[in-house]
Amino acid sequence: MFLDATYPLYYFYFIFFARTSSSPLFFFFFASGKGKREILYMALAKSEKWWSLGSREAGLYPWDVRRLDHVLRQATAPKATFEKKLWCVQVILRCIETTVSEEQVELRRNRQLLSTLRYFLFQPISTSLGARLRQHTFSVYLRLLGGDLAFDELLVMDAGTIRVLVAALGDDEHADLNHVAILLARRISELPHVSSVLVFEDSLFEVLQDLLEFRNASTQVTKHILHLFVNLSGHPRLHFKLARSRRLVFFAIETILLVLNTDIVEQASRKMHRVMKSVPSPLDEPHVISTKRKALPFAPVLSKYVGCALRHMSTAVPCAMIIANLLSFPENRASIFSLYPDLVRALELCDSQKVSIRLWEVARCAIDYLHEDEAMLETQLLMHFESPTVDDATVKAGNSA
């Protein structure tokens, strides 16, 4: 078959549309030679952009562990742009998401990975791209932590990394970066082998307490920081310093008093108390209480009212957990009791309210620890309250922020 002189033009169109169009392309053109006309049919399947992070197929795309070295070298080249670096860190995130456990081990053993992440972390954030690069790098840290003890220590126990984390936690100009930094700090608190860095690094400990006391912070941020301190307060090596931090313990006590003395909580507690008194005990009735009668105490209006009170009390429960964890260590009880005169009143309010069963349980435990109830201490194993771990949905939300 021979093609005439117009073939280069058709070939140009073929290449152009193949590179620019994402829909199936069908090309029909004619070539003449030796007295006959031949029809050439060319069809292109839908092109898969190899840089597209939306594809679920790993294959031989950049996020394949075997190709990661090449990607890292591109992003750390002397003339690499911020766009290239941001692309690289997104590829690393995709690599983490698509690999199985065996490949995760291989990923963490990559010799270039840690140095590349630190290189990204120390890039200036004077531009929006720089802030996004640091945000997504923290997201990589967030996803990698917890898989290997030695790697976790290399990742977190670094003075430069701590300085950058402190700066991000105090950054009020880049909300998304600040949010991911808070999630990372909470994730570190869940890992006993590295959580000490949050307490013994004074600058980090101070900025976390600053966030706790910042009254204009969102409820979600406050809850993240409270859950962080719940984890730290039960740590056998960290509780001593936390128990003597007047800022932390005072905040926990004041929050409980402030929340439980609000009108909505007091009214909901009184309503629940009346309902509980009005419902006869099963021992007083010869027959099982009917379904209709059971449903009366939980009428829609009351349920809505109590639900609103519970949401209002969401910060009181972790505050009580912090106090209970600190009191679970005998060496803290005398000092806490003497330093904080409002402690008993706060715990009694938690014990007397009728809205949150969980808050009542935590308060009873703290009161038993405080009074060193011998019967309880002999029969009950030492218990430390733990906050729920940062789930995958929260992590992914931080990545996409």
Rounded Cα–Cα distance for residues 386 and 328 (Å) = 13
Residue 77 in this model has a pLDDT that exceeds 50 = yes
Residue 381 in this model has a pLDDT that exceeds 90 = no
Amino acid code (one letter) for 58 = A
Residue 291 in this model has a pLDDT that exceeds 50 = no
Percent of the chain with pLDDT over 70: 73
Q: What is the mean pLDDT of residues 371-400?
A: 66
Sorted by where each begins, the domain ranges of the chain are 7-44, 65-234, 256-379
Q: Which residue did the predictor score with more confidence, 108 or 37?
A: 108
- Res 392: pLDDT: 65
Q: Which pair of structure tokens corresponds to residue 140? A: 């990589």
Residue 43 in this model has a pLDDT that exceeds 50 = no
Q: What is the mean pLDDT of residues 79-103?
A: 88
Q: What is the mean pLDDT of residues 320-346?
A: 94
Task: Please provide the average confidence, as pLDDT, over all residues in the chain.
Answer: 80
- Res 247: pLDDT: 95
Q: Which pair of structure tokens corresponds to residue 76? A: 């750390």
Rounded Cα–Cα distance for residues 327 and 335 (Å) = 10
Q: Which residue did the predictor score with more confidence, 303 or 307?
A: 307
- Res 121: pLDDT: 95
- Res 277: pLDDT: 75
Q: Write down the CATH number for the domain with range 65-234.
A: 1.25.10.10
Q: Which residue did the predictor score with more confidence, 329 or 26?
A: 329
- pLDDT band at 130; cut points 50, 70, 90: very high
Residue 294 in this model has a pLDDT that exceeds 70 = no
Residues 184-213 pLDDT 10s = 999 999 999 999 999 999 999 999 999 999
Give every CB contact of residue 23 below 8 A, 6+ residues apart in sequence.
46
- Res 201: pLDDT: 94
Q: Which residue did the predictor score with more confidence, 315 or 147?
A: 315
Residue with tokens 């090596």: 237
Using DSSP, how many helices (H) and how many strands (E) does the chain show?
23, 2
33 within 8 A of 2, measured Cβ to Cβ: yes
DSSP letter, residue 170: T
Closest C-alpha to 98, from 121, 65, 125: 65
- pLDDT band at 298; cut points 50, 70, 90: low
Helix axes 128-144, 392-400, angle to 10 degrees: 160
Q: What is the dihedral of CA 25, 29, 33, 35, to 10 degrees?
A: 130
Residues 249-268 pLDDT 10s = 999 999 999 999 998 998 88
